[in-house]
Amino acid sequence: MQRIAVLTSGGDAPGMNAAIRAVVRSGLEVGCTVYGIKNGYRGLIDDDMREMGARDVGGIIQLGGTVLGSARCAEFKTAEGRQTALNNLAKRGIEGLVVIGGNGSQTGGYELSKLGFPVVGVASTIDNDLAGSDITIGVDTALNIALEAIDRLKVTASSHRRAFAVEVMGRDSGYLALMSGIAGGAEAVVIPEQEIPAERLEEILNEAYARGKMHGLIVVAEGAKNNGEKLRQYFHEHKDRIGFELRVTILGHVQRGGTPGAFDRLLATRLAARATEHLIRSEHGVLIGWIKGAALPTPYPEVIGKKKPLDLDLLRLADVLAQ
């Protein structure tokens, strides 16, 4: 394989740039021409791509986001859109593609590979919900950003004996909320995988105060039915009976834009270098993920449409440690 291309797609994740850099430089190392495609599948359809040299990926390993840009592209979900993409790849003689992204992006990669085009995926999403990778690019940095916010809110919550809720990202996955709740010492964690009624949260906070705690902190996943706003409303509506309100901080996109930490830079570099090797050796139609301490391939059919289950024993651990 002489000509390969790389794109980043879907939600951006800290570490994507390290992955782009690793694809470009590992490809160049073995004599390939490497194209960077702008804005995910959008650039593939719009023919927005250019050849990349080693210097084009200099000074990016420490940057959050993605220098190639990312986009959500509905047109790629259509057969016509994918055919246009294939025509644009053929026009430049590109023989294989590395797709850096999460569930949706890898589904797109699988669709392209089913048409006979060589694709290798790199597991990248802050949600950590991708089957075929114990941990994905961006999770560690996003967790640390959530923790910084939680730690700061705990300080102010303790000073004023206030109750706070922090809503963290993760779409329909509670992973970030659960892990940041455990690492941040939250009184309760609310996740879509195991909802807790607002009445029970009220009890938990009251019990914590009765045990002498100076703060009450709840971590909420954005995908929970009782999300941050719902909980704020509940405590507001019943404030006279409860005796306090719940102050809600929604971290939102703040979590995505962080400088990638050492873990994500190394994970991204190792997964993307391995993905490039696989593509060039024509071992495609796989997702490269981190499995038991190594960068390993899983065939796309075993990954696509699967949801990685959350270890709910950890929720029990969060409860035990919130004494």
Q: Of 17, 26, 88, 107, which lies in the binding site for ligand ADP, with binding defined by CB under 6 A?
A: 107
Under rule CB under 6 A, residue 133 binds ligand ADP: no
Report how far residue 97's alpha carbon sits from residue 110's, in angstroms, rounded to the nearest whole number.
11
Report how far residue 140's alpha carbon sits from residue 145's, in angstroms, rounded to the nearest whole number.
9
Q: Of 11, 69, 118, 260, which lies in the binding site for ligand ADP, with binding defined by CB under 6 A?
A: 11
Q: Cβ closer to ligand ADP: 234 or 290? A: 290
Alpha helices in 172-261 (DSSP H): 175-184, 198-210, 228-237, 239-242
Under rule CB under 6 A, residue 72 binds ligand ADP: yes
**Segment interacting with ligand ADP (CB under 6 A) among 97-105, 197-205, 236-244, 262-270:** 97-105
In DSSP notation, 76-144 reads GGSHHHHHHHHHHHHHTT--EEEEEE-HHHHHHHHHHHHTT--EEEEEB-TT--BTT-SB-BTHHHHHH
Tokens of 98: 């590395």
Under rule CB under 6 A, residue 223 binds ligand ADP: no
Tokens of 11: 């939600």
**Segment interacting with ligand ADP (CB under 6 A) among 106-114, 134-142, 231-239, 276-284:** 106-114
The H-or-E segment that residue 216 falls in is strand 216-221
Report how far residue 275's alpha carbon sits from residue 208's, in angstroms, rounded to the nearest whole number.
48
Catalytic status, residue 12: no
Residue nearest to ligand ADP (CB): 104
Q: Of 102, 132, 184, 260, which lies in the binding site for ligand ADP, with binding defined by CB under 6 A?
A: 102
Under rule CB under 6 A, residue 88 binds ligand ADP: no
N residues, the chain: 323
Residues 247-278, buried b or exposed e (16+ Cβ, 10 A)? bbbbbeebbbebebbebbbebbbbbbbbbbbb
**Segment interacting with ligand ADP (CB under 6 A) among 30-38, 104-112, 181-189, 266-274:** 104-112
Tokens of 88: 């644009």
Bridge partners, residue 70, by sequence: none
Residue 56 C-beta: closest distance to ligand ADP, Å: 24
Residue 129 C-beta: closest distance to ligand ADP, Å: 8
Under rule CB under 6 A, residue 105 binds ligand ADP: yes
Using CB under 6 A as the binding criterion, the count of chain residues that bind ligand ADP stands at 17
Q: Of 27, 64, 101, 138, which lies in the binding site for ligand ADP, with binding defined by CB under 6 A?
A: 101
Q: Kindly list the catalytic residues.
A: 127
Binding site for ligand ADP (CB under 6 A): 9-11, 41, 72-73, 76-77, 101-105, 107-108, 111, 125
